[in-house]
Amino acid sequence: MGNEPNLLWQALIVAMLVVGGGFALVGAIGMVRFPDFFMRLHAPTKATTLGVGGVLLASLLLKWTQGSFGMHELLITLFVFVTAPVSASLLAKAALHRRAPSKAPVPPDQPER
Amino acid sequence: MWVEWALWFAGGALGLSMLLCALRLVRGPEPADRVLALDTLYVNAAALAVVLDMVHGGQLLFEAALLIALLGFVSTVALSRYISRGDVIE
């Protein structure tokens, strides 16, 4: 791994990696365990985006301590952050169009349908 | 030392979440569920490519991660259009 960065940078990189991996895992667990599609849509589109952002930030910091600037990481981060809400919105539209079953309760002051 | 441990932790967590995504991909009752599982799968695959690149210290896999993210987004858009409209390009 070349020259070792000093301890503060190492701690930052380790924290970013652990947070990133943990959030990605939380998003996947939520996607497996939630009971209906709209809840399942909620879990990975937030948590996994944050997880990928953490991992890419760790890589950016590592490249920075080795004396170069990672343009690719910045590009991937920007791309994922821009495209994740778009694909989530399109998926929600598709599920609404197919009338996917929802387990959310009906709001109380609305007439029953 | 610590950085390598954290790299292995992040790689393991990403691999496990890819396995969970594959489970939802096989099991999901709605077609939109499967597309969502594919979406999460490719995002995790891009992150795993970045982690592997940090382990090996190269530059090659970043292009792979960028390509995975790009093609995955396009395929998600196409599949969800196909689910909602029954057609990709009208």
Q: What residues does each domain of chain B span?
A: 2-85
Residue A71 in tokens: 């343009």
Comparing B58 with A78, the larger pLDDT belongs to: A78
Angle at A101 between CA A86 and CA B90, to 5 degrees: 45
Query: According to DSSP H, which parts of chain B are helical?
Result: 2-27, 31-56, 60-85
Looking at residues A80-103, what average pLDDT do you find? Answer: 86
- Assess if residue A1 is contained within a domain: no
Residues 2-41 of B with CB under 8 A from A: 2-7, 9-14, 16-18, 20-21, 23-24, 30-33, 35-37, 39-40
- Assess if residue A105 is contained within a domain: no
Hey, is A67 helix, strand or coil? coil
pTM of the full structure? 0.85
Domain that holds residue A91: 7-97
- Assess if residue A107 is contained within a domain: no
Comparing A1 with B41, the larger pLDDT belongs to: B41
Four-residue CA torsion sign, B44, A56, A42, A96: negative
How far apart, in whole angstroms, are the C-alpha atoms of residue B72 and residue B66?
10
- Assess if residue A63 is contained within a domain: yes
Name the closest residue on chain B to residue A1, using Cα atoms.
B57
Q: Does the distance separating the beta carbons of A21 and B9 come in below 8 Å?
A: yes
- Assess if residue A108 is contained within a domain: no
- Assess if residue A47 is contained within a domain: yes
Question: What ipTM was predicted for this assembly?
Answer: 0.84
Number of domains in chain A: 1
Residue A58 in tokens: 């760790």
- Assess if residue A2 is contained within a domain: no
